[in-house]
């Protein structure tokens, strides 16, 4: 199985940022234009761009959607977006504008029936985002930790027809400490669906380890921004 690379653009206040373990008080700004950053990634060969509306995740509504839509409509790369998606109107808003895939996270925990309905209606256009802290799903920009186990939630939505899951281990996110491969592989085995790993990738070796475990994709942010490797180097390494 080939590993799909998803360079990440986290948006807050109209800028490209990274948070340390999801902490809004530990923010590093890497660029003033999400679209310019997306274009840079696309020019290096990225086929997908992973975008997160951090303001939206915290506020429960779309905030940075203009940057997402600009990217989807003006670049060849496909876009997947998460953060602040709570209603079908949000999903339709993005898909109609050319976004390839919409990630539902917090709403999947607070209103699983709605999530199932959206999966049934929009199929592979919907990905389920599972952000886990010590195995339990965290919601609302990682500010709240639920009592739902990530593997149990994933199994439920896989049975409902979800084809893609994005698994983030909050403990590794932004730490450049290596991804939680064991958790990703376990999730893939339980769901038998595509699982995209997010959090902790620090080197090309990490990407190769994920590929060797037949993980379908990897979201990479800080390692690229900190110059550990470029998008083009990563693509060459996992091709």
Residues 6+ apart with CB under 8 A from 212: none
Q: In the numeric block, which tokens belong to residue 202? A: 């620090």
Please name which of 67, 217, 83, 183 lies closest in space to residue 142, comparing C-alpha atoms. 83
Cα(150)–Cα(157) distance, integer angstroms = 11
Beta pairing, strands 136-139 & 164-169: unpaired
Beta strands per DSSP E along the chain: 4-12, 15-20, 23-31, 48-53, 78-82, 101-104, 126-133, 136-139, 144-149, 164-169, 194-198, 217-220
Q: What is the DSSP string of 115-133?
A: HHHHHHHHGGGEEEEEEEE
Which is it for the CA torsion 38, 180, 195, 65, positive or negative?
Answer: negative
Please name which of 174, 229, 4 lies closest in space to residue 100, comparing C-alpha atoms. 4
Q: In the numeric block, which tokens belong to residue 38? A: 């997306």
Query: Could you give the residue numbers annotated as active site?
Result: 10, 131
Look up residue 47 and give its DSSP letter. S
């Amino acid at each position: 199985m080939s590993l799909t690379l998803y360079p990440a653009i986290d948006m807050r206040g109209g800028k490209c940022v990274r948070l340390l373990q999801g902490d809004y008080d530990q923010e590093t700004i890497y660029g003033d234009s999400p679209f310019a950053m997306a274009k840079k990634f696309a020019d290096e060969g990225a086929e997908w761009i992973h975008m997160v509306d951090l303001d939206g995740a915290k506020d429960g509504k779309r905030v940075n959607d203009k940057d997402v839509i600009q990217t989807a409509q003006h670049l060849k790369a496909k876009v997947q977006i998460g953060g602040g998606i709570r209603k079908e109107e949000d999903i339709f808003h993005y898909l109609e504008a050319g976004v390839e895939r919409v990630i539902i996270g917090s709403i999947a925990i607070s209103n699983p029936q709605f999530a199932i309905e959206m999966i049934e209606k929009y199929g592979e256009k919907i990905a389920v985002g599972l952000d886990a802290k010590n195995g339990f799903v965290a919601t609302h920009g990682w500010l709240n930790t639920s009592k739902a186990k990530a593997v149990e939630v994933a199994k439920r939505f896989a049975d409902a027809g979800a084809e893609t899951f994005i698994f983030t281990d909050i403990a590794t996110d932004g730490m450049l400490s290596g991804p939680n491969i064991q958790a990703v592989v376990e999730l893939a085995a339980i769901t038998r669906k595509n699982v995209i790993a997010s959090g902790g990738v620090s080197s090309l070796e990490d990407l190769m380890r994920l590929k060797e475990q037949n993980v379908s994709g990897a979201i990479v942010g800080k390692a690229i921004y900190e110059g550990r490797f470029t998008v083009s180097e990563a693509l060459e390494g996992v091709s």
